[in-house]
Structure formats: C-alpha cells, structure tokens
Structure 1
Amino acid sequence: MLTKLLRFGRRQLHTIVSREIIKPSSPTPSRNRTYNLSVLDQVAIETHSPIVAFYPNLDQSSLDKTPELKNPLSKTLTQYYPFAGRVKKYRPTFVDCNDEGVEYIEASNDSSLSDFLQRSNHEDLHPLFPNDLLWFDPHIRGDSEGVTCPLAVQVNKFTCGGVAVASTLSHKVGDARSLLNFINHWAAVNAKKDTSLINPHIIPCQGIDYSKLPTYIKARSRDGCVTRSFYFPDQKLNDLKAKVIAMAKEAGQPIEKPTKIEVLSWLIHNRAMTAAAKNNSGALKPSGMAFPTDLRSMMVEKLPRTTLGNLIVVIDFPTKNQSELAPQFTVGEMRKGKVAFQSIPNVDTAMEIAANMPPEVAQETSKRLDECYIYSSLYRFPTSDIDFGWGKPVKLTLGGTIKNLVIFYAAPNGNGIEASVCLEKEDMEILQKDPELLAFC
C-alpha cells in the first residue's frame, strides 16, 4: 500500500513494506485461555487508542536499528497474552487467549524524521498506524465472524534512520495506561533491561455479560476538526497558577496549591468556549468538562500501575454560563469528583458500583458526556522514558484525535506540558490567535 501525503508542496511517500503475525514466545497456559472483560471494559467505547513514539537516529553508523524488535515483541506478548488473542469486534465479553498473535507491519517514509515532524500535523499521522485503527475509524480488520486482534503495531522507518513505533489497542481490552505499559515493557525487553518490576498485573474477572449497558462516551466524528499542539513551559505555568490563585481569592473562593493540569484545563476550556461563542454570534454554547481519571492510584486499596484493563472513571460537570467558566469553579469541581472516587474501598467495589448503575442514570451520564469537552492527562504517565535502547523519544503522541478532546503530555525536554487540542476548524482559527492563551505558551 502506498500513501501520499502532500504538505507544503512536497509529496511524501509512505509505503507498507511487509506484514507478518508475531505470536507469543511461549504458549499461554490453558487456565488462562479465557480472559473475561470486566464491567468497565464492557462499557468502554468501541474504538482503538493509537500511540506513536518518534526516535531519531543517534547512531549514524546504522540506518536500521529495528531488526530485533520482533523477538522482544514475541516475549512481551507472553506476559500480555490477552493482546495476542482474539475478540469480537462489537460488544465483546471476553478475549479468547489463543496465541494467534498480533499483526506486525513495517513501513518506510521517503523523508527524514525531522522533515516529517516539521511538515506534518496530527491529521497526517494516519499512515503511521496499522490498518487505520485510529479512534472511531471503521476499518477494523476481522474475519467473517467479526473477530479481530486487540493489538496491532507498525514500525515506520525514515531515510535518516529515524523510527516511529506505532501501536493501537482496542479500548475494550485496555486503557491508555495499559497500552503505555505494554510499549514500555516491549522497549525494556528490546533494550535487555530487567522487566520484573513492570510485568502486567492481571485481575481475574467473572464471566458476566454487561454488554447491554450503555457506553459512557459515544463515538465522535472529527470531520471538520483540526488538531494543534500548544507548549506551556514551567515558568509560564507558574505564572498561570499565580493568576488563578489571585482570581479565586478576589472572588472569595480561594484555591490552595492548584496543579498544572488543573489550571491548564481551566485556561484551555475557558478560551475554547470563548472561541466557540464568537462563532455563535457571541452566545455561549452550554457544554461541560469531562476528566477521564485513573482509578489505580485513587482508591483506598491501590492497584499496581501495571494493572491491565480499563480502570478509568470520568469526573464531569457542566459549564453553561460565565460563572461556570471561572477557575475556582473548575478546580473546585475537579477536586470534588476526585474526593468521591478516593472514598471507593477497592476495585471490587468500583466494579459493583458500575454494574449496578440504573440504566436511566447510565443513559443520562452518556448523554451529558456527549456534550462535554474531554480533558485527558498523560502527564504523569510513562511516556517520555520509553527507551528501546535508542534513547528517549523526541515526541510521543496519540494519532488523529477527535472533536473537543484535549490531551496533556509531559514536554519531551522535561520542561512543561504539551497540550494536543482538537476543535472545529473555525474555533481553532480563533484559539490559535487568542492572546490570553498565547500569553502562557
């Protein structure tokens, strides 16, 4: 397959070189043949989460530093055996851990990595990912019975010897942390590092069908949307914190020690809503904020960060008027939501709460979240240290994001936060020129 990307007058050629199936290096024990999906897995949205990490060629003596990636992948799949199984494309309740393996694709791009990163936007990253498995794209490969593999990977090579390693995982089988843990593990095996402390923690679940429960976040189109990145250095973030503290104090609702993510979420939401209002004859469009939050470290009984599956809950609240765009409101509501989830004793209780949610409440939650801007933070996640033995990535990002989704990453240089923002094109045109946002970039 040959893909052409036209950016700044130059046509880039991206070519699929090979495809093969990589199976686990050791067979999965029969006792682990069925991996039951939890209630949180089953209500997760039917989509694929796409992550790509870019590596420059620091060793100019070799233009191909990827020949050994397959064996480490095979060894890693032995630990992450559900990823090498097969699952129904729609409304699955379990993974058949049959060791049929994952698709491993190699591709080449006729530009250097630096040129590619300079020329390309988020909308141009599709060719880097296997089989268009990005978010809600429908091109999910499966057999005639609708069975597919949860995971696929693609290794993209550039003329300079730089590499982009892209992985995409069914959200029914794991969340972003699950995928990042897998990529870190694969990288550590390739770099011949000890993986005993990062082996996946797998929780056994009962085989119960929750597939009729509604998903909390519906599929969103990205038609007419664009994604842009904004960089906020630490010093500017400190200035933003000071501004938020002063505004909250003046309003008589002081905030203690706001975090970088809290103040940045408020800033971007405030300015994005303002941009949308300008395109709506000045009228504020009622919306909301939603924060997918990792349960692993929130509950009374903590779970290892390497726990496999969907362990995400969503904090959400409305933003219907100007008062609900104030920083003290945003930070206060975020903290209220966290306190509520921090009172959950353990994962069994969390699963029970989700399973027993009345259908009308679940439907209302789903409807409410459909109107929200989603703020997802990978800031504290293991993103910048994914080292295959080639050094740290110069960039890591999710590909092809969706309408009104904001993702926070740690800046590759360790100084500040990068925010990937996807908005309707007209709103983005205003946001990119907004002096109140750019003052902190």
Structure 2
Amino acid sequence: MLSKLLRCGRRQLHTIVSREIIKPSSPTPSHFKTYNLSLFDQIAINAHVPIVAFYPNLDRSSHDKIKTLELKESLAKTLTQYYPFAGRLKKTDPTYVDCNDEGVEYIEARNNNSLSDFLQRSKHEDLDPLFPNDLMWCDPRIIRGDTEGVTCPLAVQVTQFACGGVAVASSLSHKVGDGRSFLNFIKHWATVTAKKDASPLNPQILHHQTIDCNLPEHLSGKSRVGCVTRSFLFSNEKLNDLKAKVTAMTTEAGQPIMNPTRVEALSWLLHNRATAAATENNSGTFMATGMRLPVDARDILAEKLMGTSMGNLCLAIEFATTNERDLEPHISIGEIRKQKVEFQSIQNLKTATEIVAQMSLETAFEKSKRIDTYYIYTSLCWFPAYDIDFGWGKPVKVTVGGTVKNTIVFDGIS
C-alpha cells in the first residue's frame, strides 16, 4: 500500500505503511451475537480510550514482518474471547454491540526516529500520530457531524521506529469498556503473542439487560478541541515530601491523614493549584470547582467482581470545592476516603446499578450547573500496565494519548 505522509516536524517523519481488517479467528456463537450495554456503559462518555506501550528492540535479529505477523495472528485469536470488540455499535447513543465479527482495523506505521530519541525529545502531542485514525478520546467523525451508521469499538496501530523499537497503540470505545477492561485485553493479547500460554485466563463478559437511558448532552461525549496536554515528572523525593506535608497539615488541623497515597496527595495539590488558577482568571473571585475520581468497582464492592470482568465497572467519587476551606487536605482527601468506605458497603453490582438507576440525570445535571468546572483525576497505577509483554520484555513506557479537557491522568505512580 502506498505510504501516506502523516507528520513531518521536529525531525520526525511518520508514515502509514498498511491498513487491514483483523477478524476473530473463530466465529462468535449465535447466542452471543448481541451484547447489551449496561447502565454504566450507556452513561460513559462517547469517547475512545487511547493507550500506547513502547518496547525497545531487544532482539536485533528479529524481522519486522515476522513480528507484525505474530501480532496479527494473536490479535485474531484474542478477539474470539473479546468478541464485542470486533463487532459494531451505533456511533451515538448505542445500547448494544452487534457481535458480527466484522473485525478491527489494524494499521502499520513507521517513524524515522529512534525510540529513545522519540521518548526523550517529544512532547505529549507527539504521541498523536501513533494512534489509529486520531481516535484519542473524541471521535473526529462525530466532531465533524458524521453521527449516522455504526463504528467498530476497537482500532490498533503498530509503529516501528528506526532502531527496531515498537509502539503498540490501541483505542477502545469507552462505551464497551473502562481502562481496566482495556488493559486486561492488551495484556491478554500480549500473552497470546508471546505464546506463554495458549489459553490465558478468559475475560468475564457480563451480559446485561438493555436499559433505556436518554442522556443529557453534557454526558454524551467530550472533545479535545482547544485543549493543550502536558506531561510532568514528579520524583520520588518530591512525592515523599508532599505526602509528609499532607500529614503535617492535616495533623495541625486536628484531622490527621496518615499514610496518604501518592494519588491522594497529588490530586489534592493539583486541584488546589487548578482552582487557584481558575480563580485568578475570574478576577480573583473564588471559582467553585469539583473533583471527580473514578474508582474500580471490581475490587471495592462487598462482593468482589473478577478482575477480568469486562465493561464499565467504575464508581465515581465526586464532591464540590465551593470555598477555600474545602481545598484544605483534611477536607478533600478526607472526603475521598469517606466515599471509598461508602462504596465498600455496597453489596454487589446489581445494587450499585440500582443506585445509579434511581439517581435522576436531571438532578445530576442541575448539580453540575452549580459548579463552574469539574476536574477529573484518574490513574493507571494499580492496573497491569507494565506487565504487558508481547515476548519482547516489559514496556519501557505505557501511557495514554491526549486527554479530555480538565482531566489529569497519573501513570507510573502508586
């Protein structure tokens, strides 16, 4: 296939080499042809989750064509177990996936940089060409107004660097899975590729009843238009100093937070500074903001779910910071911990679904209007991101591409 020039800038040339459709290696049974989306799936934003893993060339004798052939063959095998990913769903307001085995798009690309140079010199937006069809959170087809018809939940792009290093980037519709579902899939695919186990642990695919759900526009999708994304590195020394500061401040306030996690401490710090910046832009008048932190329901409910359970299985910690006192660490981190304890009292997924179903979307919308801006804090820390081994060793870096406006993603911390 004729190469297509995608990007040329900062000494970087990125070209598309080929495109093809990879279908499951065996057909989906007829009684699994319709996969109903749960209520949690339906209220998930209409976006694609983009994850990329980078691997150095450890085997100088390996042939690129052999490497990509193995990836395609193993992807076909893996899709037989994650069959909704190879189906089709409506571009807007889907309630089910048609598991018709039409397959996923698999793109091969090349970058003329070495992997080490790319990772050292690139800024976060330089990750964009690594992802298939610009599917990073927003779907450009929907932004253009193309909302008719159906789309595939999953797309994959494998980029070879000049040194032989590889980037494996995938984008999954948030309507069919959350971050843990997606990382489980990528790890499963990698395991099949490496032939460490011909039949790794099967995913638990929950077949839900369809629930009619008319979503307000503010929940139907998010865009990266007008966003700037940046990456920052916090050293262990600085993170430990921050945790110590949180403990000291909360102890002085009479409500000590002992052993704050890095995510808790960083979420507090970044929210504090984001609110201060918003207030400064508001002529110094305090800007009411809110915090949202997704929590994996698999591990937190009283009746634990399998770690391989597929779908959107997240609850959300959410609270408003409407005055300066709410920004103090004993208030905000204390609220995070309080709501986690409340989630632990929920018996099972059925009960959690009933709680969400009883919640009026109109009430939630009215609540959101009282807050000027919500900031979302999410983390890859406890997911198996650095266990994704395609037979080339563990990745040197795993991260997400782009972000949604006012979203902070932590990777590589715990």
Q: TM-score, normalised by structure 2?
A: 0.92
| Amino acid paired to 2:187 | N
1:368 Cα offset (Å): 6.1
1:185 lines up with 2:188 in the alignment: yes
Higher helix share: 2
Alignment correspondent of 2:100: 98
| Amino acid paired to 1:20 | E
Describe the shift of the 1:191–1:302 C-alpha distance in structure 2 as closer, same or farther (beyond 3 A).
Answer: same
Alignment correspondent of 1:74: 76
Tell me how far apart the structure 2 counterparts of residues 152 and 385 of structure 1 sit (CA, whole Å). 21
Which structure 1 segments of 5+ residues have no match? Answer: 411-415, 418-441
Tell me how far apart the structure 2 counterparts of residues 188 and 31 of structure 1 sit (CA, whole Å). 27
Q: Secondary structure at the match of 1:315?
A: strand
1:325 Cα offset (Å): 1.3
1:178 Cα offset (Å): 0.9
Alignment correspondent of 1:6: 9
1:21 Cα offset (Å): 0.7
Describe the shift of the 1:391–1:213 C-alpha distance in structure 2 as closer, same or farther (beyond 3 A).
Answer: same
Describe the shift of the 1:370–1:238 C-alpha distance in structure 2 as closer, same or farther (beyond 3 A).
Answer: same
Given that 2:36 and 2:207 are in contact with CA atoms closer than 8 Å, whether structure 1 keeps it comes out as: yes
Tell me how far apart the structure 2 counterparts of residues 135 and 369 of structure 1 sit (CA, whole Å). 23
Q: Secondary structure at the match of 1:139?
A: helix
Among 241, 244, 259, the residue aligned to 1:242: 244
Tell me how far apart the structure 2 counterparts of residues 364 and 310 of structure 1 sit (CA, whole Å). 24
| Amino acid paired to 1:42 | Q
Describe the shift of the 1:175–1:154 C-alpha distance in structure 2 as closer, same or farther (beyond 3 A).
Answer: same
Alignment correspondent of 2:266: 264
Q: Secondary structure at the match of 1:293?
A: strand
1:307 lines up with 2:309 in the alignment: yes
Describe the shift of the 1:333–1:359 C-alpha distance in structure 2 as closer, same or farther (beyond 3 A).
Answer: same
Which structure 2 segments of 5+ residues have no match? Answer: none
Describe the shift of the 1:407–1:118 C-alpha distance in structure 2 as closer, same or farther (beyond 3 A).
Answer: same
CA-based RMSD: 2.2
Q: Secondary structure at the match of 1:67?
A: helix
1:162 lines up with 2:165 in the alignment: yes
Alignment correspondent of 2:321: 319
Tell me how far apart the structure 1 counterparts of residues 161 and 300 of structure 2 sit (CA, whole Å). 41
Given that 1:216 and 1:369 are in contact with CA atoms closer than 8 Å, whether structure 2 keeps it comes out as: no
Alignment correspondent of 1:401: 403
| Amino acid paired to 1:291 | L
Tell me how far apart the structure 2 counterparts of residues 364 and 5 of structure 1 sit (CA, whole Å). 46
1:16 lines up with 2:19 in the alignment: no
Tell me how far apart the structure 2 counterparts of residues 144 and 231 of structure 1 sit (CA, whole Å). 38
Alignment correspondent of 1:56: 56
Tell me how far apart the structure 2 counterparts of residues 348 and 246 of structure 1 sit (CA, whole Å). 41
Given that 1:217 and 1:370 are in contact with CA atoms closer than 8 Å, whether structure 2 keeps it comes out as: no
Q: TM-score, normalised by structure 1?
A: 0.87
* Number of residues of Structure 1 aligned to a counterpart in Structure 2: 408
Alignment correspondent of 2:294: 292
Tell me how far apart the structure 2 counterparts of residues 72 and 250 of structure 1 sit (CA, whole Å). 56
Tell me how far apart the structure 1 counterparts of residues 138 and 147 of structure 2 sit (CA, whole Å). 20
Describe the shift of the 1:119–1:297 C-alpha distance in structure 2 as closer, same or farther (beyond 3 A).
Answer: same
Given that 1:85 and 1:98 are in contact with CA atoms closer than 8 Å, whether structure 2 keeps it comes out as: yes
Tell me how far apart the structure 1 counterparts of residues 8 and 368 of structure 2 sit (CA, whole Å). 36
Larger deviation, residues 68-77 vs 215-224: 215-224
Describe the shift of the 1:252–1:145 C-alpha distance in structure 2 as closer, same or farther (beyond 3 A).
Answer: closer
Tell me how far apart the structure 1 counterparts of residues 146 and 408 of structure 2 sit (CA, whole Å). 34
Alignment correspondent of 2:355: 353
